[in-house]
Amino acid sequence: MTPLLELRDVHKTFQGRGRTVRASRGVSLKVMPGEVVGLVGESGSGKSTVANMALGLLAPDSGEVLVHGERLIGASRKREKELRARVQAVFQEPLLALDSRRTIGWSIAEPLRIHGRGTRAEQEARVAELLTAVGLDPAFAERLPSQMSGGQLQRVNIARAIALDPELLVCDEPVSALDVSVQAQIINLFLEVQERLGIGMLFISHDLAVVRHLVDRIVVMYAGRVVEEGPTDELCANPHHPYTRALLAASLEPDADEAGVGVRTATTDATAAEGVPQEGCPFLPRCPLAEPACSEMPVVALAPTGPGRASACRRSGVLVEAGASTSNHD
C-alpha cells in the first residue's frame, strides 16, 4: 500500500543573522491511509517545520516529501492542485486561519470554489452539511468570525478542512489555544470525524496527553530528529528513549502523584537550539541516563526496539528492559 504521506530523510536548515537552525535533520515518517499519527516535541524540535513541509508550504533542502508516492513540489500545476486537494490543514489559531471580513459560509466554501466542486447551490448545501457535521447550526454560515468563540471557530476550520473529502489532515497544535472544556470537545470531534470519514491524520502537538487521545502511533522529535516512534499505548506505557520518558514524567495530571521529573536542568542553554550539541546525541546535556561513552560517539540512528517500535539512543536497552520487567509485574 502506498503511504498517504511519506517523508524520506528530509533536511531543512534556516539561516538568520549569524544563527543557523537545523529544524529537520533527516526526518523520515509515513502516514498510511486511515492512519492517525501524532508528532510530538517541544518548541524548537522541528515539528512545525515537518508539518509545513508535509503540506508543501515549505520545500526541503534535501530528501523527499511524497503525497501518494508523488512529489508535491515540482509536480505540474494541475497535478499539484489535485494532490493539494487531498491534503488539508488545521492550524493552532482558529481566528488567524479565517478571513475576518468574510462570512463563515464563504470561508468554508472557499476550497470548493477553488477546486470547482459543484454549482453555487450545491456548494451552499455542502456548507450546511459540513456545519452540521462539526456540530454547528447551519445558520452560522451567515456569521462573521468575530461573532464566534474560539471553539466554534476551530469547528469551522475543521469543516473547511474536510470540505474536499481529503485523505489526509495535517493538524498543527489545533487545540492548544483552547480552554480545557472546549479542547475536550474538539478532541472528541476529531475522533468522530476520523471514525466517520476514515481519514488519515498527522496530528502535531507539544502535549503528549492530548495526542494520546487521538492517535494510533506516536513519533517523538527532539532537536530536528526523530528520537522515538511506536504504537501509542506501548510508547506511553514504556518509553524507549530518555526524552520520551522525561516528557511523560513532566506531564502533570491533577490526580497523579508528584512524579520525579527525570530531566537534568538544562541551565547552560542560551536558547533551546543552542543548547543542543551540533554533533553527537542532541539530548546528551539533559539526559539522566547519559554515560561518558554516549559523548564519544556520533548520533545514534533510529533502530528497532520492539514490534513497531524504534528509538535513537545508545541506552534504549536499559529502558526496554525496565519496561519489560514492569509489565511482568502486572
Partner 1 sequence: MSDVLTVRNLTVRYPNAPRPSVQGVSFTVPARGSVALVGESGSGKSTTALAVTRLLDPAVEVTADEVSFEGRDLLRMGKKELRALRRGGLGMVFQDPRASWNPARTIERQLLDGLRGAERAERRERLVARMRRIGLDDPERRMRDYPHHFSGGMLQRALLAGVLVHEPRLLIADEPTSALDTTVQAELLALIGQLRTEQGLSMLLISHDLGVVARMSDHVLVLYAGRIAEQGPTSTVLAQPQHPYTRDLLAAIPRLHGPRKVPLQVGRVAEARTEGCPYAGRCRFATDRCRTETPAPRRVGGTEVACHLAPLPDAKAA
Distances (CA, A) of 293 to 276, 296, 298: 18, 5, 10
- Minimum gap (Å) between residue 149 Cβ and partner 1: 6
The answer to whether 271 contacts partner 1 (rule: CB under 8 A) is yes
The answer to whether 185 contacts partner 1 (rule: CB under 8 A) is yes
What is the per-residue DSSP string for 122-183?
HHHHHHHHHHHHTT--GGGGGS-GGGS-HHHHHHHHHHHHTTT--SEEEEESTTTTS-HHHH
19-31 β-sheet, strand order: 19-31, 5-16, 62-67, 70-71
The answer to whether 287 contacts partner 1 (rule: CB under 8 A) is no
Is residue 87 within 8 Å of 55, Cβ to Cβ? yes
* Complex with partner 1: residue 209 or 297, whichever CB lies closer: 209
- Minimum gap (Å) between residue 129 Cβ and partner 1: 20
Q: Give the residue, chosen from 182, 284, 299, 318, that forms a contact with partner 1 under the rule CB under 8 A.
A: 182
The answer to whether 296 contacts partner 1 (rule: CB under 8 A) is no
- Minimum gap (Å) between residue 67 Cβ and partner 1: 27
323 phi and psi, to 5 degrees?
Answer: -65, -45
The answer to whether 212 contacts partner 1 (rule: CB under 8 A) is yes
Q: Which residues pair with 40 in a beta bridge?
A: 205, 220
The answer to whether 183 contacts partner 1 (rule: CB under 8 A) is yes
The answer to whether 206 contacts partner 1 (rule: CB under 8 A) is yes
Binding mask 77-116 for partner 1 (x = CB under 8 A): ----------------------------------------
Provide CB contacts within 8 A for 254, sequence distance 6+. none
Binding mask 29-68 for partner 1 (x = CB under 8 A): -------------xx-------------------------
227 vs 263: CA distance, rounded Å: 16
Q: Which residues pair with 205 in a beta bridge?
A: 40
Which region, judged by CB under 8 A, interacts with partner 1, from 73-81, 114-122, 148-156, 300-308? 148-156
Q: Give the residue, chosen from 181, 278, 292, 293, that forms a contact with partner 1 under the rule CB under 8 A.
A: 181
- Minimum gap (Å) between residue 324 Cβ and partner 1: 19
Is residue 245 within 8 Å of 316, Cβ to Cβ? no
How many residues are present in the chain? Answer: 330
- Minimum gap (Å) between residue 58 Cβ and partner 1: 23
The answer to whether 299 contacts partner 1 (rule: CB under 8 A) is no
- Minimum gap (Å) between residue 83 Cβ and partner 1: 31
79 vs 103: CA distance, rounded Å: 30
Q: Give the residue, chosen from 38, 105, 151, 323, that forms a contact with partner 1 under the rule CB under 8 A.
A: 151
Question: How big is the chain by its Cα radius of gyration, in Å?
Answer: 21
Give me 258's grid cell.
Answer: 508528584
Helix extents (H) in 170-315 = 180-197, 208-214, 232-237, 242-250, 292-295
- Minimum gap (Å) between residue 95 Cβ and partner 1: 14
Q: Give the residue, chosen from 267, 279, 301, 330, that forms a contact with partner 1 under the rule CB under 8 A.
A: 267
Question: Which residues of the shown chain bind partner 1 in the complex (CB under 8 A)?
Answer: 42-43, 149, 151-152, 179-185, 187-188, 191, 206-210, 212-214, 236, 246-256, 258, 261, 263, 265, 267-272, 275
